[in-house]
C-alpha cells in the first residue's frame, strides 16, 4: 500500500454497512482484502440478532474492526435499524477518540431513478466544512438536496454533533439488487481520497457472480430498509438530516 507522507500522519476511519445496492459492504470489504488489512477487534450490541459468518473456515463476528498503517475500518455484514445505528455511531466516535482518528469516511448507496447503470455518479456530503476541500480536490459532486432517513440518518446525526469530521460518499445504485458497478465507482473514489492504488479488474470479471453471491444479504437489507420506511411514515424515525 502506497500513501502520501501527509496522509500517513493522519489516522482515518472507513465505515461500511449494508444499505442500498450493498455499496458500503462491497466497497469496504474489497478495500480490506485488497490492502491486506488485519482484524484487530469487533463491536457487539445486545439488540443485534446472534449471528456469525464463516469465511474460508474462519468464524467472523458481524461487526469487525481492521487496521493497516494509518487506515482503520469498521464494517458490518449485518443490517440494523436506526436506533441501533445511533448507538453504533456513538461506539465509533468513542473508538475514534481513543485512537486519535482525525476524519471518518462513510460509504453508502443512493437510490437514483435517472442513473446510468454503466456510469453511476458519486456524491459527497460532509458534516464539517473542513472536509469541503476533499470534495473539490477529487472532483466529487456535492449532495445538494434531498432527504436521508433510517440507518444513514442516525449515524450522520451522531457524527454531526461530534468534533470529528465525517465525509459520506453516496454512489448512485439500484436499491433492490447488489450493485457491483456502483461499488467500483465508490472503491476508486475512496482509494483516491486515501491516496492508495487499487485494481478493480477482478470485480469487473465477477460482476454477475457477485450479484448472485450477495443476494441473501441484499434481501435482508431490503427488509431492514422497508421497515425503516414504515417507521419514517409513522413518525418514529430519527430526525432527518437536510
Instruction: Look at residue 237 in the predicted model and tell me its pLDDT.
Output: 35
Residue 117 cell numbers, joined: 447503470
Instruction: Look at residue 151 in the predicted model and tell me its pLDDT.
Output: 80
Instruction: Look at residue 218 in the predicted model and tell me its pLDDT.
Output: 53
Q: What percent of the chain has pLDDT over 70?
A: 76
Digit-coded pLDDT (tens) for 9-44:
789 999 998 888 888 988 998 899 889 999 999 887
- Return the CATH architecture of domain 10-233: 3-Layer(aba) Sandwich (3.40)
Digit-coded pLDDT (tens) for 173-186:
887 777 888 889 99
Digit-coded pLDDT (tens) for 65-104:
999 999 999 988 887 777 788 888 888 899 999 999 999 9
Would you kindly state where each structural domain of the chain is located, as residue ranges?
Answer: 10-233
Digit-coded pLDDT (tens) for 96-145:
999 999 999 999 998 876 777 677 899 999 999 999 999 999 999 999 88
Q: Using the predicted structure, report yes or no on whether residue 45 has a pLDDT greater than 80.
A: no
Q: Which of 139, 111, 141 is nearest to 123 (CA)?
A: 141
Instruction: Look at residue 165 in the predicted model and tell me its pLDDT.
Output: 94
Instruction: Look at residue 235 in the predicted model and tell me its pLDDT.
Output: 42
Instruction: Look at residue 215 in the predicted model and tell me its pLDDT.
Output: 58
Q: Using the predicted structure, report yes or no on whether residue 8 has a pLDDT greater than 60.
A: no
Q: Distance of alpha carbon 26 from its chain centroid, rounded?
A: 9
Break the chain down into helix, strand, coil percent, rounded to 5: 40, 25, 35
The strand ranges marked E within the chain are 11-16, 38-42, 53-55, 58-60, 63-68, 71-76, 101-111, 122-126, 141-142, 166-173
Kindly report the average pLDDT of the chain as a whole number: 79
Instruction: Look at residue 203 in the predicted model and tell me its pLDDT.
Output: 66
Instruction: Look at residue 25 in the predicted model and tell me its pLDDT.
Output: 87
Residue 185 cell numbers, joined: 465507482
For residue 197, count other CB atoms closer than 10 A to its CB: 12
Q: What percent of the chain has pLDDT over 90?
A: 34
Amino acid at each position: 500500500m502506497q500513501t502520501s507522507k501527509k496522509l500517513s500522519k493522519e489516522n482515518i476511519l472507513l465505515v461500511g454497512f449494508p444499505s442500498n445496492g450493498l455499496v458500503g459492504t462491497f466497497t469496504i470489504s474489497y478495500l480490506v482484502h485488497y490492502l491486506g488489512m488485519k482484524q484487530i477487534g469487533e463491536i457487539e450490541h445486545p439488540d443485534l440478532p446472534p449471528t456469525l459468518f464463516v469465511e474460508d473456515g474462519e468464524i467472523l463476528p458481524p461487526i469487525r474492526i481492521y487496521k493497516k498503517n494509518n487506515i482503520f475500518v469498521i464494517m458490518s455484514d449485518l443490517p440494523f435499524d436506526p436506533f441501533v445505528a445511533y448507538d453504533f455511531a456513538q461506539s465509533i466516535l468513542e473508538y475514534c477518540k481513543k485512537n486519535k482518528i482525525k476524519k471518518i469516511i462513510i460509504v453508502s448507496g443512493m437510490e437514483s431513478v435517472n442513473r446510468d447503470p454503466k456510469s453511476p455518479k458519486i456524491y459527497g456530503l460532509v458534516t464539517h466544512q473542513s472536509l469541503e476541500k476533499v470534495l473539490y480536490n477529487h472532483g466529487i459532486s456535492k449532495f445538494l438536496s434531498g432527504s436521508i432517513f433510517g440507518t444513514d440518518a442516525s449515524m450522520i446525526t451522531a457524527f454531526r454533533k461530534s468534533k470529528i469530521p465525517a465525509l459520506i460518499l453516496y454512489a448512485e445504485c439500484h436499491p433492490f439488487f447488489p450493485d457491483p458497478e456502483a461499488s467500483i465507482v465508490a472503491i476508486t473514489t475512496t482509494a483516491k481520497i486515501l491516496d492508495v492504488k487499487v485494481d478493480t479488474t477482478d470485480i469487473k470479471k465477477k460482476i454477475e457472480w457477485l450479484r448472485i453471491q450477495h443476494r441473501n444479504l441484499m434481501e435482508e437489507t431490503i427488509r431492514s430498509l422497508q421497515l425503516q420506511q414504515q417507521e419514517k411514515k409513522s413518525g418514529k424515525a430519527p430526525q432527518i438530516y437536510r
